[in-house]
Chain A
C-alpha cells in the first residue's frame, strides 16, 4: 500500500467517525420517538427496532389509551403554533428594522457613529437570563407577560444587532455611484434603494433572516420566564416542562423533540450557502 493510499484511508475513516458523531444524537432521538416504550426500556438493550409505531404522536395529540399513566394530551399544537407565530413575526420585524438601520450606518456619516454601532452590538452580549430578570419585572407591571406581543418584542430586540451588522456590511459593498446615477436619471432616493441597493444585498438580508429565525426558534432562557401558560409557551419551553414532569416517558419526549428538530433539518439543507457567506462576510470584510 502506498503512502498516498494509506493517507486516503485515514482521512475517510476520520470523516466517517466525524459524521457518526454528528448525526447519532439527533437520529437517536428521532428513532426513539417511533419505538415502543418496552423496547426503549429493555435490558439488555434492543438495538434493532422490532416494530415502529406512531403511538407516541397519537398519545401526544389525542391523549393516551394505554391507561397506565393516564396521560393527557400534551398541548404540542399550541406550542407549535406559538413557536411559529413568534419566530416568523419577530424575524420579519427584526429584519425590516435592522435592514433600515444597517442602511443608515452604511450610507451616512455622523458623530459618534462607531460608538453607536458598538453600543448596538454590545446589547447582544447580555446573557438571556440576566436580561430576563428586569424584563420579567417590567412586563408584569405593564401586563404584557405571557403574551405573544411581549415575547415578539424581546426577540426583535435580540435579533436587530446582528441584522444591522450583516446588512451594514453588504450595503457598504455596493458602490454609492450606482444609486447616484439612478438618482440623476430621476429616481427618488427611495426608488434607488428599492430597485438597486435592496436587490443587490438580497443574500445578506436572507442570511440575517435565517439567523434571526434560528435564534427565535431555539431561544429558551428568556421565553421560559416570560411565558407562563400555553398562551405563549414555545416548543423549547414545552420540551423542558415535560422532561421535568414525566421523567419516565422518553419516547414521548422524543416525539415532542422531533417537532423542534424538523425545522432545523430543513433549514440546514435549504440555506447552507447563505449561512457561510453571512458568517464569514461580516467578520472578514468588517
Chain B
C-alpha cells in the first residue's frame, strides 16, 4: 500500500479513470453498436448481433463514399492553404518591427472564436440577400446577387473560406514563433557568402521551420472535426448534400434517422481517419526533429 501511494499510479489514476469512463467505455459500446442494427426508436435492437452487415452496406453506399472523399479533399486543400497563408503571414509579421506584438495579438483573434460562431458570421457575410459580401459587390455593379450558400460549388468554397479564416492563425502564430527562434549567425554567414534571399529562405529558414510546420499540423489534425460545427451552421450539409462531410453525415444518420448502429460504423471509419492524420504528422514531426539534432 505504501509503495502504491508513493508510486506513479496514484497520480495517474484520476486521469485514467475519467478517460476510461468517458472515452474508452463509450468507444467499446460504439464498437458493439456498429455490429447491431440499433435504432433509437427500437431499444431492443441493441442486443441483436448482425456481424459486419453495417460495414458491408457502407462499402456499397455511394453517399458515404462521396462524403468521405469530400472530407479528405476538403482537409487536404484547407490544411495546405492554411499552411501557405500562415507562412506568408508569419514572414510578413516577422518583417515588421514596429507594432509586431499588437499584430500578433490581433492574429490570435480567430483562434478564440467558437467554430459555431465562425459558421454564423460567415453565414451572415455570405447571405445572398443581405450579406456583407453581396452588398459590397453591389457597390461595384454586381446587381444580381450571387447565391453563395445555395450553389453547390460556391457553398463548398464559402465553407472553405470560413475554415481557413478560423485556422490559419494557428499556423501563423507557430511559424512566427519558429521564425523568431532562428539563430542569426547562419543567416548572416549565408548572406556574406553571397546567397540571395530565396536561397537563404530555402536552405536555412525552411529546414529550421519544418518542425514548427509539423507541430502546427499535429495540433490542427487533433481538431479537424471542428469543421463539423462550421458546416452544420452554414449549410447543414445542403444544398442537396453537396457540402456533406463525413461528420454531418454521421450526425444525420445517428440523430435524425435514428440509425445508431449505422452511424457508429461510420464514426469508426472517421475515428481511424483522424488518428491516421494525427499519426502521420506526429511521425513527420519526430523525423524532422531528429534531422535537426543531427545537423
Contacts and interface: CB of A to CB of B under 8 A. Distances in A.
A62 to B, nearest CB: 23
Interface in A257-274: 257, 260-261, 264-265, 267-269, 272
Contact of A268 (B24, B95, B112): B112
A73 interface: no
Contacts of B203: none
A98 B16 CA distance: 10
Given A134-B27, A268-B108, A218 B113 contact: yes
A272 B104 contact: yes
A157 B270 contact: no
Interface stretch (A18-26, A50-58, A179-187): A18-26
Interface in B112-161: 112-118, 120-125, 127, 130, 132, 135, 138-139
Interface stretch (B47-55, B60-68, B185-193, B216-224): B216-224
Given A220-B114, A225-B255, A236-B114, A120 B121 contact: no
- In this complex, the member of A32, A105, A127 whose beta carbon has the largest number of chain B beta carbons within 10 angstroms is A127
Interface string A133-144: 111111000000
A239 B233 CA distance: 9
Contacts of A217: 114
- In this complex, the member of A153, A214, A280 whose beta carbon has the largest number of chain B beta carbons within 10 angstroms is A280
A283 interface: yes
A279 B174 contact: yes
Contacts of A26: 109, 113, 121
Contact of B112 (A133, A161, A189, A267): A267
B22 to A, nearest CB: 4
Contact of A128 (B89, B127, B177, B225): B225
A217 B165 CA distance: 19
Contacts of B289: 286
B211 A264 contact: no
A68 interface: no
Contacts of B278: 122, 125
Interface string A99-139: 01101110110100000100010111111111101111110
The dominant DSSP class at the A interface is helix
A221 B277 CA distance: 20
A12 B95 CA distance: 10
A162 B226 CA distance: 16
Contacts of A269: 105
B143 to A, nearest CB: 10
B22 A156 contact: yes
Given A129-B251, A260-B114, A250 B124 contact: yes
A284 B171 CA distance: 14
Interface string B223-235: 0111011001100
A11 B275 CA distance: 39
Interface string B7-27: 111011011101101111111
Contacts of B112: 214, 264-265, 267-268
B30 interface: yes
5 contacts: A26-B113, A45-B135, A126-B274, A220-B114, A225-B251
A221 B229 contact: yes
A120 B26 CA distance: 15
B37 interface: no
Interface string A209-250: 000001001111100010000000000100110010000001
Nearest to B165: A25
B25 to A, nearest CB: 7
Contact of B8 (A104, A123, A264): A104
A74 interface: no
A186 B175 CA distance: 46
A15 interface: yes
A218 to B, nearest CB: 3
B104 to A, nearest CB: 7
B92 A28 contact: no
A243 B23 contact: no
A15 B114 contact: no
Contacts of A164: 15
B78 interface: no
- In this complex, the member of B24, B109, B275 whose beta carbon has the largest number of chain A beta carbons within 10 angstroms is B109
Contacts of A236: 114, 116-117, 229
Given A130-B270, A250-B124, 12 more contacts: A22-B169, A45-B138, A104-B9, A122-B278, A125-B275, A129-B228, A129-B247, A133-B264, A218-B115, A253-B120, A279-B174, A283-B219
